[in-house]
Amino acid sequence: MNLKRWLPCIGWAASYNRVTAGKDALAAVIVTLMLIPQSLAYAMLAGLPPITGLYASIAPLFLYAIFGSSRTLAVGPVAVISLMTAAALGPMFATGSSAYIGAAMLLAALSGVILLLMAVLRLGFLANFLSHPVISGFISASGLLIALSQLKHILGVKAEGQTVLQLLPSLAEQLPLVNMPTLLVGGVCLLFLQLARTRLKDLLLGLGLSSGWADSLTKTGPVLTIIVSVWVVTLFNLDSSGVRVVGRIPEGLPILQLPTMDWQLALQLLPAALLISLVGFVESVSVAQTLAAKRRERIDPDQELVGLGAANIAAAVSGGFPVTGGFSRSIVNFDAGARTPMAGILTAIGIAFTALFFTPLFHNLPHAVLAATIIVAVLSLVDFGSLKRTWRFSKQDFIAQAATMFGVLFLGVEIGIILGVSLSLLLFLWRTSRPHSAVVGQLPGSEHFRNIERFSVVQSEFVVSLRVDESLYFPNARYLEERITQLMVEYPECKHLVLMCSGVNLIDASALDSLEAIAERLTAAGIQLHLSEVKGPVMDQLHRSDFLQHFGGHVFVSQYAAMQALDSASVGRAAQG
Amino acid sequence: MNLKRWLPCIGWAASYNRVTAGKDALAAVIVTLMLIPQSLAYAMLAGLPPITGLYASIAPLFLYAIFGSSRTLAVGPVAVISLMTAAALGPMFATGSSAYIGAAMLLAALSGVILLLMAVLRLGFLANFLSHPVISGFISASGLLIALSQLKHILGVKAEGQTVLQLLPSLAEQLPLVNMPTLLVGGVCLLFLQLARTRLKDLLLGLGLSSGWADSLTKTGPVLTIIVSVWVVTLFNLDSSGVRVVGRIPEGLPILQLPTMDWQLALQLLPAALLISLVGFVESVSVAQTLAAKRRERIDPDQELVGLGAANIAAAVSGGFPVTGGFSRSIVNFDAGARTPMAGILTAIGIAFTALFFTPLFHNLPHAVLAATIIVAVLSLVDFGSLKRTWRFSKQDFIAQAATMFGVLFLGVEIGIILGVSLSLLLFLWRTSRPHSAVVGQLPGSEHFRNIERFSVVQSEFVVSLRVDESLYFPNARYLEERITQLMVEYPECKHLVLMCSGVNLIDASALDSLEAIAERLTAAGIQLHLSEVKGPVMDQLHRSDFLQHFGGHVFVSQYAAMQALDSASVGRAAQG
């Protein structure tokens, strides 16, 4: 049972049969056709030779199939992680150099180790602190930035830069040097891919195809584009007219080897690896969760850390770069009928065959076509409407989202995400440190007590009751002290203060100290503190301190019991109705 | 009204009269007598010439009296902040050098600016994140570390180091060089001061003195020790026998001047300044709050930031070092009858007179006596019992406290506090990310719904109800998704899922996205999501999104209404009693 938890593959392998195999195989064929151009393109985006994209789509898929808990997640290179890889390595090494390639492998290794450590230390919850507005802002801004960074390939020029402020002037400067054949090829591909994405399905449906087939064929748009463009380049010998092509890709499978262990470099790459791990994990888990729910399956986020960690280590030792679960790819896998991670293994075999035998076919593949594939894919992720929706819904979330987008576009990918996470954490802590609390009074004719500001209730002259709608822990411990000091000034006649604890699920050591300080200060001012409606677990906890012995007040089962004991008039008020 | 908020002195100055003046003057005399040895000693602890201690007790007291909101807080050098000053500057400059003195002034300036910025940006809540166990662990460990660092003065040897691991071997190495006359003077003072602290009051009460006078006289123990020791050193000419004395202290008031603005250095000192500001603020506010509550007065934490910020800037421009509100000193001030911050101004005048005319009296004051003053004061702060109490009360708080103590003693003061704060924040975030939630069922014979694990309740076959006892925001958004995915697996017959929101005070954008994802996944699995008992403000918030239009379910006023609508059998169960 325990082994099955750590090796989810045992679960599905036991009942694997021919029917499932057929479904998995079909899905694998479709995903392989989709993954080939994607892996070549994302390798280019990451600043790496195209072959590394294929390498990153073989071993990682095997490992995820063994250790991952999602049945249909398709792992491999993805746009955002490739951009983050380029952002981390670009300023340090010459693009495509062997030092660059080695550092990308090291980055994958670090990311794998971090994910596995998070699994062992149960730190998966850390991913929660990438709030949705931050993630959404990050992905939109990254999409724009990626599209902008790929524009040079469509124009056939050289432009450098990590932010909008660097890329735009660099592109503008190069504008006179535009290579027309490249622009033609790139422009036509861009147009075709965009139409394929938005219109092709309707067209195929119009031709009488089933929705499933129309969907699957639509997804082969990129492969079709590649085949046609390679053919056109070869036919018209376009590479001699300045259209840059992929060139010779070494055939064969990656050689397994450990990345060079440069500790100095590892330390430098650590922050980037941390961000890549977190972002990759969050993206992947949300896709996996969405797909699992559709079939009432479950994924285990801690096990996902193991699966993605193993996949990244596999990428590191087989000449790849950081990988994670891809959004569109996983949906295609799911829709094509994949039932188990065997589909992933079959996909990996498909890519391995490609790397072994078909790489010469990609010699004449233009960079512009790969760039067009990327641009169309990432622009679909850009969602400025989200900014507006967030603004309408919550100003605080908007601040975090806008800061993330601004940071990514103008200051750099890593700074952007750090800015967003810090701001959302800071705003969260600020909100947490002032919990909702209300002075309550008795609803005449009842034993109920309600907020005096919202209901027409009766208060006792000598007894003040405060309800706190939050657990008491250190972020709000001081708030409680301040609130009660304030109450003491507001109610000079007060002799008893009842803290109504119906909303308190936990009291930590800081809050206990605060309660003790409060009780002491109240006593010094001639007021007695009492508690009411304390939940069972909280009461158990208080018994583990000596607070109850020496705070001098009572713990009442209900707020009404407290008022009965402290203010006899309340009984009359309850009967009055 | 607004001016009075920013200048609290207007409040008390308006009604100032002769009676209050008399009380303030008496308190000022007692505090001055206490502050003279303390300020000399803490300057030594901070690695600074004794006179800077007096300087740090003049201008800052004036400024706090004008801007501070506490009526009885006594500001000046304190042990923990002096230790932190030494820890920050010790590794960078030669102790007592002019560069060291300049850097101490710069540290005070930075700390002042940080506190004022926190006031303007309303960041006072950040101090909440120094949880009580961390603060308490920090103070106990600091006390031990300070006592150990002062031992060299009692032994008359030279020992260096910032941590226990550095100090102990250094002291052991110097043991053969102990100066016997110094040890004698230091040892006797240590013994006398300890007895004065623990026994003198009882003795004086036995002699028939009133409790107030006995208390005040007890507090003059340090001054008495100083007078007698100076007399003894002079009489027996002990400084020629190797007893190190304070020596010539320049007479006169500090010259007002800006600290040298070395930006490079300022950047280096920034982390230390940040920690000093936070620790100083937390210590000071808790003392101020305790004292204010005793007289049903109120302090304003944001205004305290202004008062302490101004005090530190005053320290910076008058040759001092970082200051804050002192614990024992403020209690003495309060007990001696101080009514307004005028007592602080009078104390400052007393110290100014001392600096002008009486410094020659301190020429023969032995370092060993100052060290004894410090040791007795800080050992009273060491509280290892707290560790045990925390262990019993909460394991998580214990981890943070123990880590802080370990860090301070063995890794360094700053590392210790950073370790403690990080751990308590991490544990807090972990706890927050898994809020309390319960599947609820109907109490037979009632319209109430309770946790199925604690009560004997009835559940519907097709309707599952989940109550979440926490606001929904990004740290727990994913938890909710996981919890509900799990429920879908546990209840395969489920057709309706009701989310009971009685404990939800807020829904942020991340939680809204999660709710949308949940609703979508449930729909895909043939289950309809509903909400019940949504609070007014949360409902307003949901209306600002389009969730309510397209989630497809209903929002029920009460859980019972939800069950009535979704499962007709519930009406029967309610009537059954």
Cβ contact (<8 Å) for B127 and A301? no
Report the chain A residue with the minimal C-alpha distance to residue B544. A393
Least Cα separation, residue B64 to chain A (angstroms): 21
* DSSP for residue B504: -
* A457-515 tens-digit pLDDT: 888 889 999 998 888 888 888 888 889 988 988 898 899 999 999 888 889 888 998 89
Least Cα separation, residue A462 to chain B (angstroms): 16
Residue A190: which of A153, A215, A219, A217 has the closest Cα? A153
> What would the two tokens of residue A268 be?
């430098």
A-chain CB neighbours of B430 within 8 Å are: 125
Q: Is the model's pLDDT at B343 over the cut of 60?
A: yes
Per-residue confidence (pLDDT) for residue A1, from 0 to 100: 52
Cβ contact (<8 Å) for B285 and A492? no
Beta bridge pairs of residue B439: B466
Among B129, B393, B509, the residue with its CB nearest the CB of A397 is: B509
Residue A343: which of A328, A333, A351, A352 has the closest Cα? A333
Least Cα separation, residue A318 to chain B (angstroms): 33
What is the C-alpha separation between B466 and B571, in angstroms, rounded? 19
What is the C-alpha separation between A422 and A400, in angstroms, rounded? 8
Q: What is the mean pLDDT of chain A?
A: 88
What is the C-alpha separation between B358 and A178, in angstroms, rounded? 84
Using the Cα atoms of residue B88, residue B94, residue B95 and residue B100 in order, give the sign of their dihedral.
Answer: negative
What is the C-alpha separation between B460 and B465, in angstroms, rounded? 9
> What would the two tokens of residue A317 be?
């030792």
Q: Which helix (H) or strand (E) is B467 found in, with range?
A: strand B463-468
Asked if residues A365 and A322 have their Cβ atoms less than 8 Å apart, the reply is: no
What is the C-alpha separation between B382 and B385, in angstroms, rounded? 9
B-chain CB neighbours of A489 within 8 Å are: 296-298
Least Cα separation, residue B303 to chain A (angstroms): 13
Kindly list the distances between the CA atom of residue B388 and the CA atoms of A549, A551, B238, B404, in Å, as whole numbers in the listed order: 18, 20, 45, 15
What is the C-alpha separation between B394 and A507, in angstroms, rounded? 9
> What would the two tokens of residue A69 be?
């808990």
Among B298, B434, B522, the residue with its CB nearest the CB of A485 is: B298
Residue A64: which of A307, A369, A377 has the closest Cα? A307
* DSSP for residue B366: B
Beta bridge pairs of residue A530: A498
Cβ contact (<8 Å) for B290 and A397? no
CB neighbours (10 Å) of residue B142? 27
Cβ contact (<8 Å) for B506 and A125? no
Q: Is the model's pLDDT at A577 over the cut of 60?
A: no
Best A282, A294, A296 residue to mutate vs chain B (most B CBs within 10 Å): A296
Residue B463: which of B549, B547, B529 has the closest Cα? B529
Contacts of A329 by beta carbon, 8 Å cutoff, 6+ apart: A31, A34, A35, A38, A74, A76
Continuous H helices in B259-366? 263-294, 301-317, 327-335, 342-353
Q: Is the model's pLDDT at A518 over the cut of 80?
A: yes
A-chain CB neighbours of B488 within 8 Å are: 293, 296
Among B286, B486, B510, the residue with its CB nearest the CB of A131 is: B510
Phi, psi of A511, deg, nearest 5: -65, -35
pTM of the model as a whole: 0.78
Q: Is the model's pLDDT at B68 over the cut of 80?
A: yes
Asked if residues B350 and B307 have their Cβ atoms less than 8 Å apart, the reply is: no
Question: Averaged over B360-380, what is the pLDDT?
Answer: 89
Question: Averaged over B370-397, what is the pLDDT?
Answer: 88
CATH class of this structure's domain A437-576? alpha beta
Better pLDDT: B445 or A233: A233
Q: How confident is the model at residue A123 (pLDDT cuts 50, 70, 90)?
A: confident
Per-residue confidence (pLDDT) for residue A262, from 0 to 100: 85
Question: Averaged over B335-348, what is the pLDDT?
Answer: 90
Asked if residues A200 and A218 have their Cβ atoms less than 8 Å apart, the reply is: yes
Q: Is the model's pLDDT at A314 over the cut of 90?
A: yes
B-chain CB neighbours of A544 within 8 Å are: 392-393
Q: Is the model's pLDDT at B1 over the cut of 60?
A: no
A-chain CB neighbours of B432 within 8 Å are: 432
**In whole angstroms, how large is the CA radius of gyration of chain A?**
31
Q: Is the model's pLDDT at A216 over the cut of 80?
A: no
What is the C-alpha separation between A48 and B233, in angstroms, rounded? 78
* A59-97 tens-digit pLDDT: 999 999 999 989 999 999 999 999 999 999 988 999 888
Q: Is the model's pLDDT at A576 over the cut of 70?
A: no
Q: How confident is the model at residue B399 (pLDDT cuts 50, 70, 90)?
A: very high
> What would the two tokens of residue A558 be?
């209900």
What is the C-alpha separation between B413 and B163, in angstroms, rounded? 8
Cβ contact (<8 Å) for B525 and A475? no
Per-residue confidence (pLDDT) for residue B576, from 0 to 100: 66
B-chain CB neighbours of A292 within 8 Å are: 485
Per-residue confidence (pLDDT) for residue A25, from 0 to 100: 92
Q: How confident is the model at residue A519 (pLDDT cuts 50, 70, 90)?
A: very high
- Pairs of CB atoms within 8 A across A/B: 181
* B432-490 tens-digit pLDDT: 888 888 899 988 888 888 889 888 888 888 999 999 888 888 888 888 888 998 898 88
3-state secondary structure of A340: coil
* B230-244 tens-digit pLDDT: 999 999 888 888 889
Cβ contact (<8 Å) for B394 and A129? no
Among B132, B488, B522, the residue with its CB nearest the CB of A510 is: B132
Letter string b/e over residues B459-470, b meaning 16 or more CB atoms within 10 A of that residue's CB: bbeebbbbbbbb
Q: Which helix (H) or strand (E) is B531 found in, with range?
A: strand B528-532
Per-residue confidence (pLDDT) for residue B381, from 0 to 100: 82
* B549-574 tens-digit pLDDT: 989 999 998 888 999 899 877 777 77
Among A132, A475, A522, the residue with its CB nearest the CB of B128 is: A475
Question: Averaged over A251-279, what is the pLDDT?
Answer: 88
B-chain CB neighbours of A521 within 8 Å are: 289-290, 293-294
> What would the two tokens of residue A351 be?
């890519």
Q: Is the model's pLDDT at B126 over the cut of 70?
A: yes
Best A121, A132, A437 residue to mutate vs chain B (most B CBs within 10 Å): A132
Kindly list the distances between the CA atom of residue B565 and the CA atoms of B318, B440, B561, in Å, as whole numbers in the listed order: 75, 17, 6
Find the range with the poorest average confidence among B25-29, B64-68, B278-282, B379-383. Answer: B379-383
**Residues present in chain B in total:** 577
Beta bridge pairs of residue A467: A438, A500
Find the range with the poorest average confidence among A428-437, B407-416, B417-426. Answer: A428-437
Least Cα separation, residue A208 to chain B (angstroms): 26
Q: Is the model's pLDDT at A9 over the cut of 90?
A: no
Cβ contact (<8 Å) for B397 and A478? no
Give the N- to C-terminal CA distance of chain B in Å, as an integer: 60
Find the range with the poorest average confidence among A217-231, B37-51, B78-92. Answer: A217-231
Q: How confident is the model at residue B353 (pLDDT cuts 50, 70, 90)?
A: very high
ipTM for this model: 0.76
Per-residue confidence (pLDDT) for residue B410, from 0 to 100: 94
Domains of chain A, by residue range, sit at: 18-426, 437-576
Best B432, B464, B522 residue to mutate vs chain A (most A CBs within 10 Å): B432
What is the C-alpha separation between B358 and B366, in angstroms, rounded? 16
> What would the two tokens of residue A420 be?
């967003």
Q: Is the model's pLDDT at B577 over the cut of 60?
A: no
Kindly list the distances between the CA atom of residue A166 and the CA atoms of A80, A162, A169, A412, in Å, as whole numbers in the listed order: 19, 6, 6, 10
* B172-184 tens-digit pLDDT: 998 899 999 999 9
Contacts of B558 by beta carbon, 8 Å cutoff, 6+ apart: B447, B532, B533
What is the C-alpha separation between A540 and A526, in angstroms, rounded? 28
Per-residue confidence (pLDDT) for residue B47, from 0 to 100: 92
Least Cα separation, residue A22 to chain B (angstroms): 25
Percent of chain B with pLDDT over 90: 39
For B560, half-sphere exposure in the C-beta direction (CA atoms, 13 angstrom radius) is 12
Better pLDDT: A293 or A9: A9
Question: Averaged over A424-449, what is the pLDDT?
Answer: 85
Residue A289: which of A38, A69, A110, A9 has the closest Cα? A69
What is the C-alpha separation between B59 and B135, in angstroms, rounded? 28
Report the chain B residue with the minimal C-alpha distance to residue A301. B482
Q: Give the pairing type, strands B437-442 and B463-468.
A: antiparallel
Q: What is the mean pLDDT of chain B?
A: 88
Kindly list the distances between the CA atom of residue A281 and the CA atoms of A111, A386, B476, in Å, as whole numbers in the listed order: 10, 22, 16
Q: How confident is the model at residue A405 (pLDDT cuts 50, 70, 90)?
A: very high
What is the C-alpha separation between B122 and A257, in angstroms, rounded? 54
Among B127, B131, B489, the residue with its CB nearest the CB of A296 is: B489
B-chain CB neighbours of A431 within 8 Å are: 473, 506
What is the C-alpha separation between B24 and B339, in angstroms, rounded? 6
Per-residue confidence (pLDDT) for residue B401, from 0 to 100: 93
Cβ contact (<8 Å) for B127 and A478? yes
Among B299, B524, B541, the residue with its CB nearest the CB of A393 is: B541
What is the C-alpha separation between B440 and B500, in angstroms, rounded? 9
Per-residue confidence (pLDDT) for residue B9, from 0 to 100: 82
Residue located via tokens 């989310």:
B499
Phi, psi of B100, deg, nearest 5: -60, -45
* B284-317 tens-digit pLDDT: 988 887 788 777 777 888 899 999 999 999 999 9
CB neighbours (10 Å) of residue A576? 11
Q: How confident is the model at residue B324 (pLDDT cuts 50, 70, 90)?
A: very high
Residue located via tokens 């995915």:
B485
Cβ contact (<8 Å) for B488 and A293? yes
Beta bridge pairs of residue A24: none
> What would the two tokens of residue A301 be?
């986020």
Among B397, B436, B520, the residue with its CB nearest the CB of A509 is: B397
> What would the two tokens of residue B502 be?
């009685």
